[in-house]
């Protein structure tokens, strides 16, 4: 791990745990709302519903990855801008 203190490692693990739980909740709510119509004549999942849930979960995970990458690039850009501003301020002083 590149330069993470023990406390930061704990924070990362906690955050990841919370993120996974939150993602699971959102995913199951969203996919259930989209894929399973509210008619409960049968306890078994039909083939259409199974296929729909597979696709929903795959799309959700892919979306999650894509948005995560976007967020990291945006935060990197923010960090560089901040560094430049800081360098300018210290340079002016």
Partner 1 sequence: MAAPMRSGEGVTKETISQLNLEDVDSFSLIVDHVIGEKKLHTNVFLPSAFGAGMRQREEIMITKVFESCSFKATASGVVGVGLGMALGLFTVGIDPMSTYTTATPDQTPSTRAVLKEMKVRCASYGKNFGTIGFMFAGTECLLESYRGKSTLSNGTISGGIVGGLLGLRAGLKAAAFGAAGFALFSTAVDYYFRHG
Which parts of this chain interact with partner 1 (CB under 8 A)? 1-2, 4, 7-8, 11-12, 15-16, 19-20, 24, 35, 37, 41, 46-52, 55, 68-69, 71-72, 75-76, 78-79, 82-83, 86
**Residue 46 beta carbon to partner 1: minimum distance, rounded to whole angstroms:** 4
- Burial readout 60-80 (b: 16 or more C-beta within 10 A, e: otherwise): beeeeeeeeeeeeeeeeeeee
* 33/83 with CB nearer partner 1: 83
> What is the end-to-end Cα distance of the chain in Å, rounded?
36
Give the span between the Cα atoms of 31 and 54, in whole angstroms.
9
**Residue 48 beta carbon to partner 1: minimum distance, rounded to whole angstroms:** 4
**Residue 89 beta carbon to partner 1: minimum distance, rounded to whole angstroms:** 10
């Amino acid at each position: 791990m590149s330069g993470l203190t023990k406390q930061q490692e704990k924070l990362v693990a906690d955050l990841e745990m919370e993120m996974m739980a939150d993602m699971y909740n959102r995913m199951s709510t969203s996919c259930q709302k989209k894929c399973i119509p509210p008619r409960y004549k049968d306890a078994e999942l039909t083939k259409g519903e199974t296929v729909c849930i597979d696709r929903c979960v795959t799309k959700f995970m892919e979306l999650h990855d894509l948005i995560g990458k976007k967020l990291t690039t945006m935060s990197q850009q923010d960090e560089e801008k901040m560094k430049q501003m800081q360098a300018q301020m210290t340079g002016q002083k």
